[in-house]
A and B are shown apart, each in its own frame.
Chain A
Amino acid sequence: MDFIQSIDWMQMLRCFIVGGIICIIGQILIDKTKLTPARILVVFVTAGAILGGLGIYKYIIDFAGCGATVPLTGFGANLAKGAIEETQNSGLLGAFIGGVKSSAGGIAAAVFFGYLASLISKPKMKKQ
């Protein structure tokens, strides 16, 4: 298998460690603060967007690959990156187009698969 041989295992290790550390930050927030999971998702996306906007997050992505892009901070950073890149093409309009454009795939997949998965599943019966 050429594909297995083409995997960069050091990259995989960096991805595992950085992805894990970002999750530890989330776990500490859950255990040490009274933030609900929903708020933690918001905090992570917003923090990722700010780090992406400041240009810091791309160094983490260069280092860790999917260890940085898969956590929700990566989703936020992707929104910010899209907005910044699109302003170069279409100016102020780009600020409104770019963010959603760059993460359109993820958002559309979440809406579509989310709806589909909800349709096929049965609501859990509460035991009386």
Chain B
Amino acid sequence: MNPIETPKQYSDYVDKKSPNSPIIKNCLIAFLIGGLICSIGQIIFDFCKYKGMEETPSNTVVSIVLIGIAAFLTGLNIFNKIGKIAGAGSLVPITGFANSIVSPAIEYKSEGYIMGVGGKMFTVAGPVLVFGISTSVIIGIICVLFNCS
């Protein structure tokens, strides 16, 4: 085999060697699991509405419950098994956010409860919050400047 000299050659080589992911099957599973998680959210939402709650707090309850379930399932090492099959189906819903907090926290537990668990839990969630909150601040500023309200 010829030696690999350029990054282009290397990336061609990797593409050739890596297995083709069955994208249709992956998408179907992601669709089903993702839809299922959203439907669970909808049931919680409907239940809050049924108990006479307003729309906005109901949405918050849905987030809190789903995050709580996902966090503990990750802690019990069940969620990662679901995630391996479901791919984006469990990553894209808010459950993926909870999973992204707990997974690194468990991994770095040996580094202690403050800097290990407390620090590393934001390895993935940190960027999500940074970009999400920053975007919302920019949108708010634009809103004030152009008097959109």
Contact = CB atoms under 8 A, between A and B. Distances in A.
B91 A41 contact: yes
A12 B137 contact: no
Interface of B: 21, 23, 26-27, 30-39, 41-47, 50, 56, 59-64, 66-68, 71-72, 74-77, 87-89, 91-94, 96-98, 100-102, 105-107, 109-110, 113, 117-118, 121, 123-125, 127-129, 131-133, 135-137, 139-144, 148-149
B91 A53 contact: no
Interface of A: 2-3, 6-8, 11-12, 15-32, 37-38, 40-42, 44-46, 49-50, 52-53, 64-67, 69-72, 74-76, 78-80, 82-84, 86-88, 91-92, 94-96, 98-100, 102-103, 105-107, 109-111, 113-121, 123-124
B13 to A, nearest CB: 15
A88 B107 CA distance: 43
Dominant secondary structure of chain B at its interface with chain A: helix
